[in-house]
C-alpha cells in the first residue's frame, strides 16, 4: 500500500513538474516579446499569449483536482541536508536560481504560510471587510453590477452595429465591370476595338476612320481643335478680296503694262 502511494505521488509530481515547466516557458516567451518585440507586438498576439498562459493554468488546476493526484496539502517537505556550500545538482534543477540550500534560505523556500508583511496586509483587509454592514455590501455589489451591465450593453450594441455593417458591405451590389474597364482602357490607349469610319473619304472636316478627334478648345489657344465652319468661311471670304485688291494695284503701277 505504501509503495503504491509512493508511485502515485511520484507520477503526479512528474506531471506537475511538466505542467509547471510549460507554464514557465510560456511566461518567459511572453516576457521576451514584451521586452524585445514591443514595436511590432499587437493586441491580438498579446491575447493569444495570454490565452496560452490561461490554458496552462487550467490544465494545472485540473491535474491538482484529479482523483489520482494525492492531496499535497497533507504532505510536508523537510530539509535533509543544509549546507552553505554550492550544490551543483540544486543549481541544475533550479536553472541557476538557487545555488545553496543554507539556513537563511530554507524558511523562504519551504514556507507554508504567507510572509509576515503579506499576512499583516491580509489581516487588515479581512478586518476592514468585517466592519462593512450587510446593507452597504449589497449596495456596493448592486452598484458594481450596474456598471458591469452598462458596459456589457455598450459592448453588445457596438458588436451588433459592426455585424450589421459588415453584412451590408458583403451584400453591396456591383456597379462596375472589370472587363469593360479593361476594354475602355485598351481602346483609349491603343485604339483596340475601334471600327473604321465609313465617311473617311467624305467631305472635308470629317474625321477619318480609326483616328481620335481631339476636343475643340478655345479659339487662339495652343493645341486648339478644328476651326468651326462659320469661322473658316469668313476667313476664306476675306482672303480672296485682299488678294484681288493687291493684284489690281500692282497692275496699275507696273511699268510694263500691256
- Give me the tens of pLDDT residue by residue for the chain, a chain 258 residues long: 677 888 888 888 888 989 999 999 999 999 998 899 888 888 888 889 899 999 999 999 988 888 888 888 788 878 888 888 888 988 888 888 888 888 888 888 888 777 888 889 999 999 988 888 889 889 999 999 999 999 999 999 998 888 888 777 665 556 678 888 888 888 888 888 777 766 655 544 444 444 444 444 444 444 444 555 444 444 444 444 444 444 444 445 555 554
CB 126 within 8 A of CB 114: no
**Is 67 within a domain?**
yes
- Asked if 21 and 85 sit in the same domain, the reply is no
Residue 91 belongs to some domain of the structure:
yes
Q: Count structural domains, the chain.
A: 3
| 237, part of any domain | no
Assess if residue 181 is contained within a domain.
no
One domain for residues 9 and 65: yes
**Rounded CA gap, 123 and 93, in Å?**
35
| Closest by CA position to 69, among listed 61, 77, 78 | 61
**Domain assignment of residue 92, given as a range:** 79-112
DSSP 72: G
Q: Where are the alpha helices (DSSP H) in the chain?
A: 2-36, 43-64, 88-93, 106-109, 116-131, 134-170, 178-190, 229-253
Query: What is the reported pLDDT for 214?
Result: 45
Q: Are residues 33 and 63 in the same domain?
A: yes
Distance CA 253, CA 113 (A): 136
Quote the pLDDT of residue 156: 92
**Domain co-membership, 66 together with 5:** yes
Q: For residue 184, what are the CA distances in angstroms to 44, 191, 212? A: 44, 9, 14
Q: Are residues 36 and 64 in the same domain?
A: yes
Q: Which of 57, 52, 58 is nearest to 29 (CA)?
A: 52
Does 55 map to a domain?
Answer: yes
Nearest residue to 192 via CA among 217, 222, 212, 177: 212
Alpha-carbon distance of 35 to 33, in angstroms, equals 5
Query: Is the domain of 40 the same as that of 53?
Result: yes
Amino acid at each position: 500500500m505504501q509503495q503504491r502511494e509512493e508511485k502515485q505521488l511520484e507520477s503526479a509530481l512528474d506531471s506537475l513538474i511538466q505542467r509547471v515547466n510549460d507554464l514557465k516557458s510560456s511566461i518567459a516567451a511572453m516576457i521576451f516579446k514584451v521586452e524585445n518585440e514591443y514595436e511590432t507586438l499587437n493586441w491580438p498576439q498579446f491575447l493569444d499569449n495570454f490565452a496560452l498562459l490561461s490554458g496552462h493554468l487550467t490544465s494545472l488546476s485540473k491535474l491538482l483536482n484529479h482523483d489520482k493526484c494525492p492531496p499535497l496539502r497533507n504532505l510536508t517537505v523537510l530539509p535533509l541536508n543544509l549546507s552553505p556550500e554550492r550544490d551543483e545538482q540544486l543549481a541544475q534543477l533550479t536553472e541557476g536560481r538557487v545555488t545553496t540550500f543554507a539556513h537563511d534560505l530554507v524558511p523562504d523556500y519551504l514556507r507554508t504560510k504567507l510572509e509576515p508583511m503579506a499576512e499583516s496586509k491580509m489581516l487588515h483587509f479581512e478586518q476592514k471587510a468585517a466592519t462593512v454592514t450587510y446593507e452597504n455590501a449589497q449596495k456596493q455589489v448592486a452598484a458594481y453590477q450596474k456598471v458591469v451591465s452598462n458596459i456589457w450593453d455598450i459592448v453588445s450594441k457596438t458588436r451588433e452595429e459592426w455585424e450589421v455593417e459588415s453584412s451590408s458591405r458583403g451584400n453591396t451590389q456591383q456597379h462596375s465591370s472589370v472587363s469593360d474597364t479593361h476594354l475602355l482602357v485598351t481602346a483609349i490607349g491603343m485604339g483596340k476595338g475601334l471600327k473604321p469610319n465609313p465617311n473617311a473619304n467624305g467631305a472635308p472636316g470629317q474625321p477619318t476612320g480609326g483616328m481620335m478627334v481631339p476636343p475643340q478648345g478655345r479659339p487662339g489657344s495652343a493645341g486648339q481643335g478644328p476651326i468651326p465652319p462659320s469661322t473658316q468661311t469668313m476667313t476664306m471670304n476675306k482672303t480672296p478680296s485682299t488678294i484681288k485688291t493687291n493684284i489690281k494695284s500692282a497692275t496699275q503701277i507696273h511699268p510694263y503694262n500691256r
